[in-house]
Structure 1
């Protein structure tokens, strides 16, 4: 019997038309793990306010990233599926699903079911664990498989934000820019989350965000592996160490705020403005929460933040592309599927 591998990314609209973008936003934002408020509040907020008004603007943004192969998120997902299948060989069957829209997780699971597989390894394509991403994928897989007559062994890769090959791939891509230009500063911009979701995930009750005016110590690694904010800082520090960057040469920040509630900080926009005030003219920007180019990397980090940087006196802004179909990234996926133990450097021995 074969072993099944289920790669899952967030998802993308079926097209860049407003109607398809609206449909995608509704499914995405109605997830109780994404907007974690009661249904009676979430439904009107998403369906009557956010999706109707945001869809036309988002559709224009999707047009900027759309290629002849469609969405880059989907295109690179398909490429990774093919390349990983080649690397794993005949003993495995790799399927690709999106948490929202197509190809759906359900269609991918049905594909695996037809292969008479003995077990399934679920690999959410989110390096840092968060309830709204990895947690949502796990919940969906459990909901879809619970009524199968024969339920195979199902395991989940919950995070790999410190896996050496993931770290080395980002460093390898970034190095080509560092070799060609003398940058004043490097930023690592991660997707943001509401602070309340970080606190909810605090299984060790050590979260410093608790209480009014709470602050978080960035170096609290491994006290709670499932703290998204801490995992992001660890990722940035490991990539910076691989690149040989001193502490004062890089910053970590968080993008994509939504609503009035506080999100994890520091915010990317604030960090950019602060850097320009300090006279930084040339910045290299990583977005390591994403393993494939998408709206949040190409447009938000690559274009919108570049505009903010230049409006405030900056001169040279360069986005580091994502892992996409890099050979070392495919090797990392193989390691994750096979459960290979990889040496993880201790930052603070």
Structure 2
């Protein structure tokens, strides 16, 4: 059926976290300053957050992070950026001319503001926002949503705006991970699987708990209306569904969390910690491990470097023989279709 002549295109905004403009220390410092002073990332009073991170943490962290970004950088630049731009193009082709797909980063460039202006200039009828974080967290998806609402609230004419807040159990998302996992499992035998998710402070989970439901324990054993926005519960659900698709029994996989920022003694993050989980595995006879990083849909520092290289080194030092990271979804055709399907359903 032909579209109504008065019906405008639907705007789609894909958003990922962000990346420095270059691996140089000055650009990394600029990125970290914006990222680590976001009140949803570091939920401290501004009077403490800004001087602590801009005056102490970022100046110390930026040179070290710049060296790691230099290892990550490619001829096309940051993988998180070019995979995002490639995904934008492929999803646009998949959705067709009735849609206009834009891409932005929560921190640095291309900005959410620029992407929204592109959609506004095209006079889209409404906007669907898809933060590219499978599991909802206030520090990632929540921050994107807050920024979009802040920017759009300043427009004189505000179109309908909707958000896809989580896709932790989306069949297309899960199916793509399973496909990639099976490809790696066909190459060799693995003794165990590790699902490593980006960590967040425990208090972030407890602050978002529905009437105190989340207790950082067995409450994540089921996924329901009370914990559907609990980051920990979503990580467990994603893992269960992928494990089911791969034919894994519960004892054949472990769920853990990486990338904690502060001392766990002063500020505990979600546990168990991946780097501590993998060390005793070789003593248990687990010499070959397949690792997934399902909190990320594109290659980045946390996947390629942290899980793919740093954890591999720790595992081998502990006596392990083979540690293999399953590639991120990036622009896998099945993932492109999954994104298009999510947009259609919303």
TM-score, normalised relative to structure 1? 0.94
Q: 1:14 Cα shift?
A: 0.2
CA distance in 1, matches of 2:191, 2:211: 38
Alignment of structure 1 residues 288-299 onto 2, 5 Å: 288-299=294-305
Determine whether 1:244 maps to 2:247: yes
2:33 is aligned to 26
Verify: 1:321 aligned to 2:340, yes or no.
Answer: no
Q: Distance in 1 between matches of 2:311 and 2:209?
A: 31
Which of 49, 68, 71 is the aligned partner of 1:64? 71
Give the equivalent residue in structure 2 for 1:41. Answer: 48
User: Please, which of 280, 284, 291 is the counterpart of residue 286 of structure 2?
Assistant: 280
Q: Which whole-Å CA distance do the structure 2 matches of 1:128 and 1:19 have between them? A: 31
Corresponding residue to 1:143 among 112, 129, 150: 150
Report the alpha carbon displacement of residue 335 of structure 1 after superposing the two structures with TM: 1.3
Separation in 1 of the partners of 2:144 and 2:164? 11
Query: Residue 93 in 1 paired to residue 113 in 2?
Result: no
In 1, Cα distance between equivalents of 2:218 and 2:60: 34
Distance 1:328 1:288 in 2: 15
How far apart, in 2, do the equivalents of 1:94 and 1:338 lie?
13
Map 1:131-280; keep pairs closer than 5 Å.
Answer: 131-209=138-216, 215-222=217-224, 223-260=226-263, 261-280=267-286
Deviates more, 1:215-224 or 1:312-321: 215-224
Q: Report the RMSD for the aligned CA atoms in angstroms.
A: 0.9
* Aligned 8 A contact 1:3 1:93 in 2: yes
Q: Deviations over 1:78-133 (max 9, x none)?
A: 00000000011011100000000000000000000110111000000000000000
* DSSP-derived class of the 2:158 partner: coil
- Post-superposition offset of 1:233: 0.6
Conserved? CA contact 2:280–2:318, under 8 Å? no
Match of 1:120 in 2: 127
Alpha-carbon deviation of 1:247? Answer: 1.1
Does the Cα contact within 8 Å between 1:204 and 1:224 map onto a contact in 2?
A: no
Output the CA distance in 1 between the equivalents of 2:252 and 2:220. 16
TM-score normalized by structure 2? Answer: 0.95
Q: How far apart, in 2, do the equivalents of 1:224 and 1:237 lie?
A: 15
How many angstroms apart in 1 are the aligned matches of 2:327 and 2:344? 27
Deviations 1:128-148 (A, max 9, x none): 000000100010001001121
8 Å CA contact 2:297, 2:328 repeated in 1: yes
The Cα offsets for residues 276-332 of structure 1, whole Å up to 9 and x where unpaired, read as 231211101000000000000000000010111011110101011100000111111
- Please list every run of 5 or more consecutive structure 1 residues that lacks an aligned counterpart in the other structure: 210-214, 341-349
For 1:115 and 1:68, locate their aligned partners in 2 and report how far apart those are by CA, in whole Å: 32
> How many residues were matched structurally?
335
- SS, match of residue 204 in structure 1: helix
Alpha-carbon distance, 1:152 to partner: 0.3
Q: What are structure 2's unaligned runs of at least 5 residues?
A: 1-7
Name 2:4's counterpart in structure 1: none
Question: Is the 1:25–1:51 contact (alpha carbons within 8 Å) kept by the matching residues of 2?
Answer: yes
Distance in 1 (alpha carbons) for counterparts of 2:34 and 2:69: 17
CA contact (8 A) 1:35 1:42 kept: yes
Task: Quote the Cα distance in structure 1 between the aligned partners of 2:193 and 2:135.
Answer: 20
1:216 Cα deviation after fit: 4.4
